[in-house]
Structure 1
Amino acid sequence: MITISMLPVWLLDFGGALALIVLSGLCLHHALAMARADRESPLAIFLLWFCGALFALALSRSSGHILKHLLTFFGKKDLWLLLAPYSGSINSMAFIVIASVTLFFNRIETITERMVRDREKIEKNSQELFRLNKEIEAVIAERTRTGMALRIAHEVRNPATIIGGMVRRLLNSYPPEEEGRLKLIHILDQARKLENLVSKFESVRPEAKKIFAPLDLNPIVAEAVESLQKDARAKDITLVSELSQAPLFFHGNSSLIKIALAHLLRNAVNACSKKSRIRITTEMTPAGSQVRIADNGPGISPEMLEIIFDPYQHINRQSSGLGLPYVKQIINEHMGTVTITSELGKGTTILIVLPTHLGELTGVAGGTYSI
């Protein structure tokens, strides 16, 4: 009978078990170093837990193999049969931990990626808000400056005109050789300077329109619709965009127009019920670039329509009517028009028209200025 020595097999098994313990220990050491370097890294935390469970499995399984061979070699095989279930249960627990850690951190990775995307979106929105705030501050500051200039001009114009008129009457009644005539002429010169100063104040033109630029209305409408798609889907409402194939140019501020459109769309979404439909169309008309927002929602009563743009009236179209005076103000800033027509039970239509060429704009206190 030919016998084969098991010594090489045992040595290989012993060496493999020891190598498994050493290698898994090194993996655990490196994972621990990564976790210490970046305690908030999901990848480092996952590797630490995974390598820890792997080291426990390697230690348990390798120790079991070594112990089995030693007991068999010393004739204690029965003792190994008694210890084998415990060793197997430890191995099974290590496998369960590895699988659980992997599945858990797979979900954590998905959540982390979503958080990163949301953070980038928040940063982008914050930058847009910061830019919009600066533009609004510029508009407000320019309006304040212009209003003060016109108020000062109004306060100075009346006394300057009265003084000038009275001095001219006195000059007409004074003989040319009178000594006081020179003094009156000097007073009249000063009155004329005041009148010229008033003219300079009145010629102050709002420069806030510098934040206005030639724009295409279609991309702005598309962005506003996209920003409301999530809310619409949550209520099972369909937003249908039918944008003009040709560019719809106008002169304005994209952020302000987008805010106005988003507010109107949000009103429509909040007012409509499930399975409703909101249609957004753009087209060029003789009056200018036009946006039409039509829904088949509950509609608005005639009484509400009369005061819907009144800032001193509380209008609540299902908690969504507030802010319409601000929308009208934005459209007025662009020398456009916004009208709302509605019928109870049939829906509401909002029509915005923005002129393509603003030309001469009506300024503060009835003045005009060009863009």
Structure 2
Amino acid sequence: CIQDNDFNIGSNRKQIVRDYFKPRDGWKFVRGADATMDTYKKFIAVTNRCHNRGCDTKQVKAFFESYIRQSEDITDGELYRMLDDWMKLFQSINKKIAAVKTAAKNVQTHLKTTSSKFSSTTKSMCKKNKTCDKKSVKALSYLRIPVSSSLKAVKALSNIPAAADSAAKTITPIQAVIYDLLENRLPQPDTERAINLIMDGTIESLRQLTLGFYIVESLPIVADRLKKQIVPIGALTKHGSRGSAALKKLDAVLAKNWKNNKELGKVRDGFITIQSTIKQKLRNPLIKLNKELKSLDDALNKFQLRKKRLELSTGGTTYRRWTENSFIMPCKITIDEYFTVDGFTEKYSYPAFQPCEYGPDTINLPNHQIPWIRWRFI
């Protein structure tokens, strides 16, 4: 009646949306379609049928399918954009894993060249001790220790390609579970599940309509699975600390300046040759590997579930509605008339009706609901 007469309907919806749904305590919100009186009528028809005569499967399916399709803030909002970002992130991570593997293999290739050069150079430096005095022999012995230690540290990185293979194997399963969520943003509703939620009282009001969304049940399960699936990727990034330690050992070898040491003769030249080989052949590939590991680590840190867990809940909030109008109402009045006959005057009173303005007055209308989904990482 009010709508048919084009009366203005006011509400505090804007205030509720502004104040209630602003991010707080890490929570982010997406809203379902407003649960209006029309939604309520359809919902009551569905639930009454379920509780009294048994659910009409087609009716339940049609109701939830219609509501889900109206809820664009959920199906096209920030929650699903986060999943899109996850998909893109793991595409990038997959490329970074491949880059780590390539860089690691390159390091080991150059390590073979460097180790061979180190071995041949040290053998020729004091062959049979004919070109070395005691001081040179002592210096050679001293040099072998840090160089050997640094090369062993680089050699210890030889298991990185295998770790990269293990990490790479997780990408397809990870993308598959994320893709499943994305594909089911507008699903044929799980009617059997919806019926169970109605019958056991889980869905008993409009505030709980978002429980009918696939993502509400599935995302927490997927989040737990993803935390386990990324473990091999995290394990791969931990090689970065060993790579950095190996680089420090190489730099310690390179830090020694032998050029001005004229006393050591041929031994000195050998030292310089070894330093040059390490610098030209091994250091840059190791730096490249460390950069790739750092890049992978930074990328994985963008995935919220690496160090946190998902918390997700549903609910609804109410906003008031009203109309303020004046009405033209029939008003009863009393009319007095006087009649004079033969000198006698008599008053005659009778009722009459006339239009009167009623109001303005506030008429409260049934509240509407805004069902929501909220989530955070803690």
Tell me whether the two structures share a fold, i.e. TM-score over 0.5. no
Which structure has more strand as a fraction of its residues? Answer: 2
TM-score by length of 2: 0.28
Greater relative CO (CA pairs within 8 A, separation 6+): 2
TM-score by length of 1: 0.29
